[in-house]
Structures are given as C-alpha cells and as structure tokens.
Amino acid sequence: MRALALASLCACAHLDPEAARRSLLDADTAFAQQVSERGVEAWVEAFGDEGLMLVSDDPLIRGREPIRSTMSALGDPRKAPPELRLRWRPLGAQVSADGTLGWTYGNSLSVSPRGEHKGKYLTVWRRDKDGSWKVAADQGTPGWADPSAPP
C-alpha cells in the first residue's frame, strides 16, 4: 500500500506544467469547434456534472439540464441555422500544480437576432476521472480581453 501511495505522489511531482497548459488550451479550442459544429449538445457535454454558468442578471445556472435550457438557442447547426452563434478563442491558460484544475480566458463573439456582442470569458476547468478536461464554471462579460486578438 505504501508503494502505491509513493508512486502516486511521484506521478504528481513530474507533471509537465507546459504540457498541462497546452492540453487545457487544446480542450478550450476543441470546445469552441464542437459548439460551432454541433451546438447546444456540445456546449452541455463540455460541462462536468456540477458545472455552472454565471450569467449577468441571473442566478447561478448549475447542472446540465438547466445549462441546456439556458443555451438552447445554440440549437443544432447541422439541422438549421441556430438563433445564437458563439465563437471564442482562448488567449491564455493556467493549470494547478497537481494538474487537476485550470482556467482559460479569451475573447468571444455572440451573434443573435439582437446583434453582435463582443465579450471576454473566464472558464474554470477540472480534470475528469478519465483525464479529460470538463468545465466547472464559465462566465462571460462585455468587451474583449485583448482588442488586437479577435476570436
């Protein structure tokens, strides 16, 4: 039992921080691509079971079904043009020393019948049991994080 515990501790000590950061940036980029291709279902699948969204002027939105309902305007672009289109691009990421938590930030653009809205976002990610990254919390606000780097 001690050997297993020691092996686990050693595995954490050898985390490559740059590789972990790149894997998180890749996860965020893939998230954006999947939402562009598959809409609301891809949005929901990216969240962990207890994932939450912080939306202006609304209470916390927690769990996949409330998130699906809130983001339903993303639709399924394979079937019909959605009412809401989102594009984003991560500009940076950081991962915890043990590689289990991280965050990304970047610029976003939403397009709906109400017009185009530039935004910035912060997404907190947690490593799932299978090693994949899942969204733990997501928040967007108006205005780009970096005006020279559109999504």
Instruction: Dump pLDDT digits (tens) for 20-44.
Output: 999 999 999 999 999 999 999 999 9
pLDDT, residue 15, reads 87
Tokens encoding 28? 């965020």
> If we measure between CA atoms, which residue out of 134, 75, 70, 59 comes closest to residue 102?
134
pTM summary value: 0.88
Architecture of domain 16-142: Roll (3.10)
Residue 14 pLDDT class (50, 70, 90 cuts): confident
Delimit the domains of the chain by residue range. 16-142
Instruction: Dump pLDDT digits (tens) for 54-89.
Output: 998 889 999 999 999 999 999 999 999 999 999 999
Exposed/middle/buried for 72, CB within 10 Å: 0-12, 13-18, 19+?
middle
Q: Give the whole-angstrom CA distance, residue 52 versus residue 59.
A: 10
Tokens 């994080």 found at: 145
